[in-house]
């Protein structure tokens, strides 16, 4: 499996509860390297653009309000098969369905307040990384 990069967000429910380090420990324990990271407050425009694919879903408004409610930590993760590996480490979207030991099983509050985001494919990973990071901010 090739070395890949994926994009991660530690979401407001996790930053608010001081869980940034705990989430990062799970990421690193899985063998993924955090090769870029910054704590930001998303603007409404950022959140609406980032989640544009969900704009017709009933939870879109709630999702945008949540993502701008507190700071988030955006990250680039690198490793063997990083996209699939991070999705495994995150666990299912709904924490009630997430496997033992996953980030969402341990920390997420609900389907919406689910602590982390991870890219779902190489194309989205590249787009999401480029939206939040300049090339010089990423050091593998």
Please give the residue ranges that form the binding site for ligand CMP (CB under 6 A): 54, 59, 62-63, 93, 111-112, 114, 117
Phi, psi for residue 51 in degrees, rounded to 5: -100, 20
117 is catalytic: yes
Residues 6 or more apart from 38 whose CB is under 8 A from it? 73, 74, 132, 133, 137
Compare residues 23 and 63 and give the one whose CB is closer to ligand CMP.
63
In whole angstroms, the minimum distance from the beta carbon of 62 to ligand CMP comes to: 6
In whole angstroms, the minimum distance from the beta carbon of 7 to ligand CMP comes to: 10
- Buried b / exposed e over 38-70, threshold 16 CB at 10 Å, is eeeebeeebbbebbeeeeeeeebeebbebbbbe
In whole angstroms, the minimum distance from the beta carbon of 136 to ligand CMP comes to: 26
Compare residues 86 and 133 and give the one whose CB is closer to ligand CMP.
86
Compare residues 62 and 127 and give the one whose CB is closer to ligand CMP.
62
Contact 29, 50 (CB under 8 A): no
Q: Which of 5, 11, 104, 117 is catalytic?
A: 117
Q: Which residues are the active-site residues?
A: 117
């Amino acid at each position: 499996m090739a070395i890949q990069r994926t994009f991660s967000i530690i979401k407001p429910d996790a930053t608010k509860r001081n869980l940034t380090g705990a989430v990062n420990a799970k990421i690193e324990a899985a063998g993924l390297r955090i090769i870029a990271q910054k704590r930001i407050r998303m603007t409404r425009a950022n959140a609406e653009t980032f989640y544009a694919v969900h704009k017709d879903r009933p939870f879109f408004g709630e999702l945008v309000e949540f993502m701008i409610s507190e700071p988030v930590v955006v990250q680039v993760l690198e490793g063997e098969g990083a996209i699939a590996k991070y999705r495994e480490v995150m666990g299912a979207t709904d924490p009630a369905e997430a496997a033992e030991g996953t980030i969402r099983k341990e920390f997420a509050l609900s389907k919406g307040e689910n602590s982390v985001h991870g890219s779902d494919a190489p194309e989205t990973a590249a787009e999401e990384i480029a939206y939040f990071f300049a090339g010089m901010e990423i050091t593998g």
